[in-house]
Structure 1
Amino acid sequence: MMRIDVLSLFPEMFKAVFEQSILKKAADSGSVSYDVTNFRDYAENKHQRVDDYLYGGGAGMLLMAQPIFDAVAALRKRSDSKPRIVMMTPQGERYQQRHAENLAKEDHLIFLCGHYEGFDERIREQLVTDEISIGDYVLTGGELASMVVIDSVVRLLPGVLGNETSAHTDSFSNGLLEHPQYTRPADFRGLKVPDALISGNHALVDEWRHKESLRRTYLRRPDLLSDRDITEQEAKWLEEFKRESEE
């Protein structure tokens, strides 16, 4: 079972998220457990302050080291394995599917959700193993960002999705965007499903999906192809797409 701990000043934000859909099913099946801790509970001062002014001056308040250090120490004592400690920050590495796949291999994850002007640098230097950003923009806090990462990780755990092939065919899992998908009826108001998908020929279906994944990636996210080892067949398809776009 994977254990996920979250340190947040607003633990109630997670209640509805963890009790719905795939995240709830994963917990109910024993694939994962969640616990959200308000790190204000670890503040040593009588007013339970967790933030203070910046040394050197500047606008805003900064989260203090002591509550975070003590909260992480308490979580570590309850764990049988060394946790990955993830700081949600706009300064972090931009999150991608490969990060989700990597985190899904861990037994214990701790997410740090910041607020105000961020964290005392000693937290970053001494505790954090991963710094993650979900995009080049700024949120009020790290809670929503951590929910995104947790969802992307939990769905990769064995048995969570039910259909084990689902996660492997999602966009980004194989370096390409997902191919177009269709369901019944085969002819909806004159809009027809591609013949390959209703041919009953599995090899033809696989080839069509591969080609259309490549086409969609070429048209929408060509940057994803820059580091890809292009096969001979893919190279031929890319030339075809290029000719079509020039017509």
Structure 2
Amino acid sequence: MGVDAQAENTPPRATRSHGRVSISASHQIRSLMDEPVQLARAWKAKIVTLFPDAFPGVLGLSLTGKARDQGLWGLDTIDLRRFGVGKHRNVDDTPAGGGAGMVLRPDVVGAALKEAARGVDPKADWPVVYMSPRGKRFDQAMARRFAAADGMTILCGRFEGVDERVLEHFGIKEVSMGDFVLTGGELPAQAMIDATVRLLPGVLGNAESAVEESHSNGLLEHPQYTRPAEWEGRAIPDVLMSGHHGHIETWRREMSEKITAERRPDMWEAHLANTPRKAPKRKKADRKD
């Protein structure tokens, strides 16, 4: 293969001996112009999937995409097909004991997870998660836990699932996005990463946004309004236009409680159970002369 003469005569660009960015090796040829530069020690998600082209997907847009471009977090995909067996790179086989569908092979998935573990400090806080409808329900508390870690590896399942021995061997945590079944774990993985990444320092423009939104305090969020002051005969509640911050805060709290009690009685019961009850005020004893 020929070499461009101009490129051959161009002196190499100087490189820093130290700095803030980290560079990781990849088994795939990628355009350096398209690959965001990641800040050293930034939070990273490693995705084991049969469809690496599904990423970054929506994660490359809006605030999460901007934060990735700024190096605030990183994303690596590990193509499960590369570890397939035989001429056709098979990644699955029939279920032991019979049954419909196919199951991801433990040797294939295991090899991919070992690849994902390369470069991860054994002492790092690095959970390995499998997106599964039988897993623990994902919630805001779990998002905060993942955001506080150094990074995470996510296994996206397909077909009837993955061989149980893989989950046991690697101590994988199963996580569910809800009581429903999808064709694969790629969409749930993106949703979970989005919920986690937005909690990282510097990702949201206004840090208070993550504090006041739904689920942050065990309640659903209060209603939101903006201009115009009246639309289709509906006006913004007077209290929000009053400028009295104390009254506004009280109204928002009351609305959050009302909406949570009506729409999510399970959350409301949990909120009541976790909220300390105020001791009743003591009545002053009758004065005796």
TM-score by shorter chain over 0.5: yes
- Structure 2 gaps of 5+ residues are 1-41, 279-289
Q: Does 1:159 align with 2:197?
A: no
The residue number in structure 2 matching 1:244 is none
- SS at 1:68 equivalent: helix
Rounded to whole Å, the distance in 1 between the matches of 2:277 and 2:113 is 50
TM superposition outliers: structure 1 runs of 4+ over 6 Å: none
- Structure 1 gaps of 5+ residues are 234-247
Q: Where do residues 187-202 of structure 1 align in structure 2 (5 Å cutoff)?
A: 187-202=230-245
Q: Does 1:9 align with 2:50?
A: yes
Identity of aligned residues (%): 42
Letter in 2 for 1:84: P
- SS at 1:49 equivalent: coil
Rounded to whole Å, the distance in 2 between the matches of 1:16 and 1:121 is 29
Contact 1:91 1:133 (8 Å CA) reproduced: yes
Q: Where do residues 222-241 of structure 1 align in structure 2 (5 Å cutoff)?
A: 222-228=265-271, 229-230=274-275
Q: Which moved more, 1:67-76 or 1:205-214?
A: 67-76
Letter in 2 for 1:138: V
Q: From 67, 72, 75, give the equivalent of 1:26.
A: 67
Letter in 2 for 1:24: G
Coordinate RMSD, CA, aligned: 1.6
Please give the TM-score of this superposition, normalised by the length of structure 2. Answer: 0.77
Letter in 2 for 1:35: D
Q: Where do residues 120-159 of structure 1 align in structure 2 (5 Å cutoff)?
A: 120-159=163-202
Q: Residues 110-134 of structure 1: CA distance to partner in whole angstroms, max 9, x if unpaired?
A: 1101111100011111114321111
Contact 2:125 2:149 (8 Å CA) reproduced: no
Greater C-alpha Rg: 2
Q: Where do residues 104-123 of structure 1 align in structure 2 (5 Å cutoff)?
A: 104-123=147-166
- SS at 1:100 equivalent: helix
Please give the TM-score of this superposition, normalised by the length of structure 1. Answer: 0.89
- SS at 2:108 equivalent: helix
Contact 2:154 2:189 (8 Å CA) reproduced: yes
Rounded to whole Å, the distance in 2 between the matches of 1:143 and 1:198 is 43
Deviation at 1:209, TM superposition (A): 0.7
Q: Per chain length, whose mean CA-contact separation is higher, i.e. which structure has more relative contact order (CA < 8 Å, sep 6+)?
A: 1
Q: From 127, 131, 150, give the equivalent of 1:88.
A: 131
Rounded to whole Å, the distance in 2 between the matches of 1:213 and 1:84 is 33
